[in-house]
Structure 1
Amino acid sequence: MNLLNLKNTLQTSLVIRLTFLFLLTTIIIWLLSVLTAAYISMVQKRQHIIEDLSVLSEMNIVLSNQRFEEAERDAKNLMYQRSLASEIHHNDIFPEVSRHLSVGPSNCTPTLNGEKHRLFLQSSDIDEKSFRRDSFILNHKNEISLLSTNNPSDYSTLQPLTRKSFPLYPTHAGFYWSEPEYINGKGWHASVAVADQQGVFFGVTVKLPDLITKSHLPLDDSIRVWLDQNNHLLPFSYIPQKIRTQLENVTLHDGWQQIPGFLILRTTLHGPGWSLVTLYPYGN
């Protein structure tokens, strides 16, 4: 009788153990499936965020690159026009967008002599707002020949310009880009110039306020900052000190990377070599 009871007890215990193992295995499989589904969902969400931010950021990158590249072309074209100044007398084809300016010895070297020697500047229209750049010729004595738009107030944009505004060596491909500078009432500007064989600078100013405004993505949580060539924040990049410290303590590279609390997309721009950095809050 005792043996029978012992046998029944062992059988019951075995069934309980098997049932427990089955339930435990089922729970583990369920937990694994839940965790796997959550991980896949997180990866997909992260991928969607990356794709959306990449598309929106690319639009701003194209706009910024276009602005900087056109400014460089304008500066180079200004130097070319100056080299042909003795052959240019007038331009009656586009009087509404061209100006004839005499360049005298007190403004620029080398000197243009005679009334017949005139230099014209064709303004650039980027969009419906008739975006225009102010042009200048800067000699070794920091004397500027102003070739600005028809608005006399634009002179204030060029007043702070001196040779010290530009780097000692070209930023790239023979183009000298100045540091961004804030002009009261006009916002942030930067200038680009090329130099001829005599070291005279021919350049244009680039208005930055609309680029800075348009660089903010239509995502409430995203943060957009601008960096210089040394990965230092440009003065018009306003972010909390905590995030600033994080960026200063990480080695940024072009493309996507992740730091605690953020996904980061960094893209190097043409022209001055600045970078646009998008930070999107994202948990690890």
Structure 2
Amino acid sequence: MPEPTYGAADPAAAISVRGLVRDYRRPRTSLRRPAPVVHALRGVGFDVAHGEHFGIVGESGCGKSTLLRIVAGLDRATSGTVMVDGHDITDLPDRRLGFLREHLQVVFQDPMGSLDPRMRVRDIVAEPLVAQGHADHEARVVELLEAVGLTRDAADRFPHQFSGGQRQRISIARALAPRPRVIVADEPVSALDVSVRAQVLNLISELVEELDLTLVFVSHDLSVVRHVCDRVAVVHDGRIVESGPTEQLYEDPQHPYTQTLINAVPTLDKALAGVTAADLAGRHDTLPDGQEEG
């Protein structure tokens, strides 16, 4: 299947990416040889409409987190164009990205790594508001904590006093604090126990729907993306190899890599088949030579 192609960047889209390339140079191993180049992204392009829930899925090392960081202004592309709400952010210096910090917020994979352990939750959630110059933010902090399912007394505690799922709720509250229009979530449930993943996914879905936000959701798990996204792009080896409505792509994948991802999704039938095969193999191995099972 050919890679998706795009024309000029769409200034009316919430996010519009065209021809995005990101190369990294590894450290030299020899003075006689040039530093090797790693091609993280190879001409990526896509559009995300306002209010859309857009998924980016692929295995570790495929380039999806690099793509997220460039869209969020945390990294720079080697070439290509990134537009957020009609603003070309491709070559803007950090000092001119203030609007992006208010417009777009990121929920990172590891909540413990993204929350300052020396700060109380009150100060963590209020940090974006302080950066914007809001002096009175106490009511907003309480409102956000309640919105993510935490009580107001959580504001006086430190991150280590919470479970992993609760810490990710705090991260979501902080991301919502400056009232952004776009939420970018980078593997937000992969570090959580299976028992709380669905709760956090449902919370993200409910909040972005209620607040009419645009969501870009990055994951290696296609079943997770299916749960929260309307449309998905599959990234492999730094390229988008297939994209389309989530259910259509899930039910009728065209690219071999997409088919591989779907086949890797655990299901009850696969689990039962695997247990039965292993059980039969084990029972066969324990039978005496020449004796058949009755």
- The normalised TM-score by structure 1 is 0.22
Choose between structure 1 and 2 for higher RCO, CA contacts under 8 A separated by at least 6 residues: 2
Question: Larger Rg: 1 or 2?
Answer: 1
- The normalised TM-score by structure 2 is 0.22
